[in-house]
Amino acid sequence: MKTLLRNNNLKVFFFVLALAWLQTGMVFAQQIRAVATWPALADITRQIGKELVNVESLATGVEDPHGVPVKPSFVPRLNRADVLILIGLNDEHSWLPALLEVANNSKILPGRPGYIDCSLGISVLEVPNRLDRAEGDLHPNGNPHYLLDPVRAKIVAQNIATGLTRNFPQHQQAFDKNLKAYVAELDNWIVRWEKAAAPLRGVKFVEYHPEWAYLADRFGMKLVGSVELKPGIEPTPNHIVELVQQIKQEKAQLLIFGAQNPRLPQQIASETGIKVVRLYSGGGSQPETDTYIKWIDYTVRTLVQSVS
Amino acid sequence: MNIFSGRKFSNVFIFGLVLLLLAPRLSFAQASEMESLRALVKDMQQQLEKALNRIDQLEKEKANDSAKIGQVEKSIQAVQSAPSILNPAIGLVLDADIEKLGKAGGNFNFRSAELGLAAAVDPYARMYAFFTGSNQGFEVEEAAAITTSLPYNLTAKGGRFFADFGRFPKYHVHELPFVNQPLSIQRMVGGESQADGAEVNYLFPTPFFLRATFGGYNKIGADNEQVSNLTPRAASRFTYLGRLNTYFDLTDNQSIELGTSLAYTPSVRLPGDASGGDRILGGVDLTYRYQPLASTVYQGFTWGSEFYNNSQRFPFDVEVSDPDDPSIVTTQSVGKRRRSYGGYTYGELKLNKNWSTGFLFDYAPVVDNPSQRTLSYSPYVTWYLSEFNRLRFQYSYLNNNFSVDKAEKGNQFFVQWTTVIGAHTHGFLTR
């Protein structure tokens, strides 16, 4: 052992190792550690923070928003995070609170500066008139799937910039500049999407779960019904029979589902001829949806192709 | 005044001539300027129309949004004006079943009604409590405060709570994937790991999940009657706990979780064993999960196992002959160390959003006589009508190698109904 300790090569090796470790720490220390709950939020954060921010998403985008597993592997990421960016409106209620409970990071607890709730200032749709579980698995403050509306996404970008500035005021100029550029880019895309989505105006559709209200609101689609009996409640056979009749009467053209089981949509399609489209409401589920803009573009294109 | 006279006339003449010469040029310039002005006005008109249309559209959107914001503000104001705004989250769980226990017969069993309360205390702590009423009476199952802002990745907890021993010992019974708590937990841990005491958790700053728990309690086990919660004791007669818990994602869809726990009581003195001795209760828990991310709500498989060992002295009556007169035999109580090993293993398959099925095998020794044991085999099916309404059907076969009450052996059937109102969560540890 003594011989080993006297070995100069070994000393140099450990010195270099320590130096390398310190340098790695310094590189990490320079970047803001951000954790977003969904890939689309992670991408918008990346656009605002650019090289100043290192962003990770907890969910991959393919999960059912109510079925994201409470993985302990998320805990170390939350433990080290400087900021947490989330959808809010109870979207993450089934999994995030349990993780925050053990993450030992008071910076990102609700109400703290690092807790960036992107729903602030969003004009929320489908706020329940009656808060009662007899109405299903309700979101008390309204439908949380507002990211599907690119106009509302501009508010999200603003919220993220505000949240990052609140925590790192020294970078305000950079965040403001990046926000301006991103909003301008979004504006350009919104004009394109509005043109491209013209065929969707007035299209009647059915959704599996209440996820598509904001997209429909933006592009003028009309909701006819839901596969679920109530939000989060699987349908009864009677409900399916009624829905099939409704689809036929209303001449609904599209049935949109995401992380749900395709069995029922396919069954309804075989009985009504309605076109079934699988789209995820969290972004990032596939390579062509790995940025917010690519995700919305893919969604609009897919829907337009489905009705044309 | 005569304008035609003299010099004045010549001036006027020259001015008129210049005017005549310039006039055609002026009219040409005016015409082209007019043209360009007309084009400009037309262009501006078009732009103005566009702008007015856009303003109209924006005003419509704004009115629409304002109406919606108004609606939200109204509902927020309604909530804020409610006097209960600072009340904790409240939930109630009802757990009841109908059961047939071997040859003992059937029974409607009101298992428990559990009232849960939880809220933040201040910026530094939160608190929760569970009060349970059942056939056995009313009890404060848990009431504990937990810090939220300690530095160095530490969390402290104090009060009455389920100690961080093993996996299922710290589950409330209605939260288990099967109807009854495995008999091995009941016999070796003493039921739910309820403890009056304090605990500190440390989250290691590692890239993977690694968490340690250290605790000190009066005792561990809701049904553990070896130690009283009411009598003060020496430091050697408290129970001390250490636990390490880690987790790894094998793939996006598969994970493995491993825990090891050790509860050490330096001195346990049971009636009849004056010398006492230490008690060591150890446990290892292993959980494998398959959760396909794209269909976690519809598919999944969990395999979970726990193994326990208990080592402690128990008093036994032995017959001792009088050294002077061997015909005189007296009964004396002496302490003997007994080591017992037990545990359970179960597998559960999620069939779809509403249905799952599983099988539990349990090996439960009697801790003061480990040669006596109960083996149980329990297939079960669970029907989730919703997240808050659950029916469970279970058959159990209990095989004992010693004499037990007829309700504790043979075939058992259960239909369990568990319903929840209000807010209900037992947090990360029982995820």
**Interface test with chain B among A24, A70, A102, by most B beta carbons within 10 Å:** A102
Q: How confident is the model at residue B21 (pLDDT cuts 50, 70, 90)?
A: low
Is any Cβ of chain A less than 8 angstroms from the Cβ of B65? yes
pLDDT digits (tens, 9 = 90+) for B331-371: 888 888 999 999 999 999 999 999 999 999 999 999 999 99
Give the pLDDT mean for B81-107: 88
Contacts of B258 in chain A (CB under 8 A): none
CB-defined contacts A:B, below 8 A:
99
A128's tokens: 């329940």
What is the chain B residue with the closest CA to A135?
B386
pLDDT digits (tens, 9 = 90+) for B316-329: 888 888 888 888 88
**Four-CA torsion A76, A77, A81, A87, nearest 10 degrees:** -130
- Fold of the A197-307 domain: Rossmann fold (3.40.50)
Mean pLDDT, chain B, rounded, equals: 88
Burial class, A65, CB count within 10 angstroms (exposed 0-12 / middle 13-18 / buried 19+): buried
Quote the CA–CA distance of B156 and B139 in Å, as a whole number: 24
The residues spanned by each domain of chain A are 28-193, 197-307
pTM over 0.90: no
pLDDT digits (tens, 9 = 90+) for B363-374: 999 999 999 999
* CATH code 3.40.50.1980 for A28-193: yes
Select the residue of A60, A232, A260 nearest B387 (Cβ to Cβ). Answer: A232
Q: How confident is the model at residue B9 (pLDDT cuts 50, 70, 90)?
A: low
Q: Is the pLDDT of residue B262 over 70?
A: yes
Q: Is A40 helix (H, G, I), strand (E, B) or coil?
A: helix
Q: How many CB atoms lie within 10 A of CB A192?
A: 12
Residue B68 is predicted with a pLDDT of 57
Residue B246 is predicted with a pLDDT of 98
Of A219-223, A267-271, B230-234, B399-403, where does mean pLDDT reach its minimum? Answer: B230-234
In angstroms, the separation between the Cα of residue B401 and the nearest Cα of chain A is: 41
Give the pLDDT mean for B90-112: 95
pLDDT digits (tens, 9 = 90+) for A106-117: 999 999 999 999
Residue B136 is predicted with a pLDDT of 86
Q: How confident is the model at residue B1 (pLDDT cuts 50, 70, 90)?
A: very low
The ipTM is 0.84
Closest C-alpha among B195, B165, B173 to residue B261: B165
pLDDT digits (tens, 9 = 90+) for B119-164: 999 989 999 999 999 988 999 999 999 999 999 999 999 999 999 9
Quote the CA–CA distance of B167 and A107 in Å, as a whole number: 29
Residue B150 is predicted with a pLDDT of 94
Q: Is the pLDDT of residue B182 over 80?
A: yes
Q: Which residue has the higher pLDDT, A209 or A5?
A: A209
Of A21-25, B261-265, B409-413, where does mean pLDDT reach its minimum? Answer: A21-25
Of A6-10, A180-184, A283-287, B213-217, where does mean pLDDT reach its minimum? Answer: A6-10
Task: Provide the chain B residues 345-364 that lie in CB contact (below 8 A) with chain A.
Answer: 352-354
Asked if domains A28-193 and A197-307 share a fold, the reply is yes
Contacts of A98 in chain B (CB under 8 A): 425, 427-428, 431
pLDDT digits (tens, 9 = 90+) for B138-149: 999 999 999 999
In angstroms, the separation between the Cα of residue A62 and the nearest Cα of chain B is: 5
What is the chain B residue with the closest CA to A102?
B428
Are the beta carbons of B189 and B162 closer than 8 angstroms?
Answer: no
A205's tokens: 């559709």
Q: Is the pLDDT of residue B60 over 80?
A: no
Question: What is the helix, strand, coil percentage profile of chain B, to 5?
Answer: 25, 50, 25
Contacts of B78 in chain A (CB under 8 A): none
